Structure 1
Amino acid sequence: MKLRFEDNSIRLRLSEAEVTRFAETGRVSVVVPLGPTERESLTYALERSETEEFRITHGAGAITIKVPAALATKWTSTDQNGLSATLMMAQRQPLKVLVEKDLECRH
């Protein structure tokens, strides 16, 4: 899974295997070591949620994007390539969230 930050946006791109795992388990995550100990790492995850809105949680070295279950099911079971939302953060700053399938081209 690829993570990208740019200005006021966050983007996740999932491989075909990761999309399948997300569909089956409701969660996919990656741990990036940022130092010599396990505590010095960043975990980023995509998680299916029972809420009706996109959410982001963060803290203690982790960022989780939570996607409403109905949207997650539709996304993983169809040819739909992406999900997006704009969340209002502190000081009324918008944060664009994009989750995409990063599938190989098939000819």
Structure 2
Amino acid sequence: MKLRFEDHSIRLRLSETEVAHFAQTGRVAVVVPLGLSERENLTYALERSESEEFRITHGAGAITVKVPAALATQWTSTDQNGLSATLMMGESQPLKVLVEKDLDCKH
């Protein structure tokens, strides 16, 4: 899974294998070691959520994008390429969230 930050946006791109894993388990995550101890790792994840809205949680070296279950099921079971939402992170601070299939990528 690839993670990309740009001005006021966060984007996750999942390989075909990762999409299948997410469909089956409801979660896919990547751990990036940024130091010598586990406390210095960065974990980013995509999770299926019972909430009806996209959400992002972060803290203690982890960023998690939470996608409503109904949207997640539709996305993983069809040829729909992506999901997106704009979250208001504060007054006049929108954050665009994109979750996409990266099906041509073979890694």
TM bucket by the smaller chain?
A: over 0.9
User: Would you say how many aligned residue pairs link Structure 1 and Structure 2?
Assistant: 105
Task: Give 1:1-107 correspondences, 5 Å limit.
Answer: 1-104=1-104
Question: 2:55, 2:38 → 1: CA distance?
Answer: 26
Deviation at 1:91, TM superposition (A): 3.0
SS class of match (1:92): coil
Under a length normalisation based on structure 1, what TM-score does the superposition of the two structures give? 0.96
Q: Partner letter of residue 43 of structure 2?
A: T
**Structure 2: segments with no counterpart, 5+ residues:** none
Runs of 4+ more than 3 Å apart: none
User: What's the C-alpha RMSD, in Å, of the aligned pairs?
Assistant: 0.9
Q: Partner letter of residue 56 of structure 2?
A: I
Question: 1:90, 1:2 → 2: CA distance?
Answer: 26
Under a length normalisation based on structure 2, what TM-score does the superposition of the two structures give? 0.96
8-17 or 85-94: bigger deviation? 85-94
SS class of match (1:56): strand
Q: Partner letter of residue 21 of structure 2?
A: R
SS class of match (2:20): helix
SS class of match (2:80): coil
Question: 1:91, 1:42 → 2: CA distance?
Answer: 27
**Structure 1: segments with no counterpart, 5+ residues:** none
SS class of match (1:75): helix
Deviation string for 1:40-89 (max 9, x for gaps)? 01000000000000000000000000000000000000000000000000
